Amino acid sequence: MRRDPFTIGIIQDHATDDVDANVARAVELIREAARQGAQIICLKELFNTTYFAKSTKVDHFDLAEPVPGPITDTMQALAKELAVVIIVPIFVRRAPGLYMNSAIVIDADGSVLGVYDKMHIPHDPMFEEKYYFTPGDGHQDYHGEKPGEANGFKVWKTRYANVGVLICWDQWYPEAARITTLLGADVLFYPTAIGWHPAEKDEWGEAQVQAWRTAQRAHAIANGVWVASPNRVGHEPEPGTNGLEFFGHSFVADPFGRVVAEAGTEQAVLVHTCDPRLQEEVRRNWPFLRDRRVDAYRPILNRFLGAPR
C-alpha cells in the first residue's frame, strides 16, 4: 500500500491564438510548480490553444496533433528533466476525420503512460464540442498503450501516486468519478475550460461557480479522493457574440471535501501535498465504498426509468 505523501500542482492560465507562446508559458508555469515542490502537475483543458469550440469552423481541426507529436515530445523532455509527472490536455488527431479531446499522462521518467479521451461531450451555445470531438470509449490505442477495460475510464500508476484523469464536462457525472476511483485513483484531475456568457454573469455567475465547485467537492467526499481542477482564465472573443469569459477559480479539495488550495480569476499555480493517511482515515470513518449496494444498481444502466404513475 502506498504510504508516502505526494504533492500535486495545477496550472491556471489564459490562452491566445499564438500556440507557441501558450506552450512556452505553460513550460514556465510547470517549472514554477516544480520549484514549489509539485510532483504531479496538470494543465488546463486544451491548454495550448484558445477554446476554439465557441463556433464550428472546419479550419480549427488543423489545431489537432497526433500522439506522439511535437507537444508530447516537449512535455516528455520536460517531465524527465524535472522528474515530475505531467498531465497534458490537448486536441488529438487520432486518424483522418477522428479527433479527440484528450489528456496525455507522462511519467516522471518522460515515458508516456497513456491517454485519456474525454467521455462526456457537451453541446451548448458556444460550447460546440460535438462538432469536434469523438467521445472516448476505452478502445483507442496510443503509443503502445493497451485498450482500456472500463468503458474508457482509466487510472495510471505514476512514480508518485495513482492518477485518474477526467476532462471538464466529465466533472458533473458521479459515475465517472466513482468508476475512476474504483480503478484505484488517489487523485482525480479535472482539466477544465468553463466560463461565463458575459450577459449572464451578473445574474448567474456566482451560482455557476459554486455549482461547479460543489459538484466536484461532492466527488471528493463520496469517493474519499483528492480532486484537482485547473481551469482557464481570460476573455476569449468570438465574432458576432460577446465571447466567453473563463472564470478560473481552480481548486484542490481533499478527501473530506475541504478546499485546501484555490485561485481567483488571475493566472495562478496551486500546489498541495496529499497525505494518504488522511485518505485512510476518511474512508474508515465514511466507508461509502464498503457500504455500496452493487447488487441493486443495475437500473443505473438505463437512460431513464420513467416517472411513477
Q: Can you tell me the distance from the alpha carbon of 167 to that of 190, in angstroms, rounded to the nearest whole number? A: 5
Q: Are 140 and 206 in contact (CB under 8 A)?
A: no
The residue annotated as part of the active site, out of 118, 128, 129, 274, is: 118
Give me the phi and psi of 196, to 5 degrees please. Answer: -100, 145
Decide if 118 is catalytic.
yes
The residue annotated as part of the active site, out of 44, 45, 54, 154, is: 45
CA trace torsion 135, 246, 212, 60 (10° rounding): -10
Q: Can you tell me the distance from the alpha carbon of 243 to that of 240, in angstroms, rounded to the nearest whole number? A: 8
Cis peptide before 68 (omega within 30 of 0): yes
- CA 103-11-112 angle, to 5 degrees, is 30
> C-alpha cell of 55?
463556433
Strand order in the sheet with 155-157: 155-157, 162-165, 187-189, 226-229, 251-253, 259-262
Give the catalytic positions in this structure: 45, 118, 168
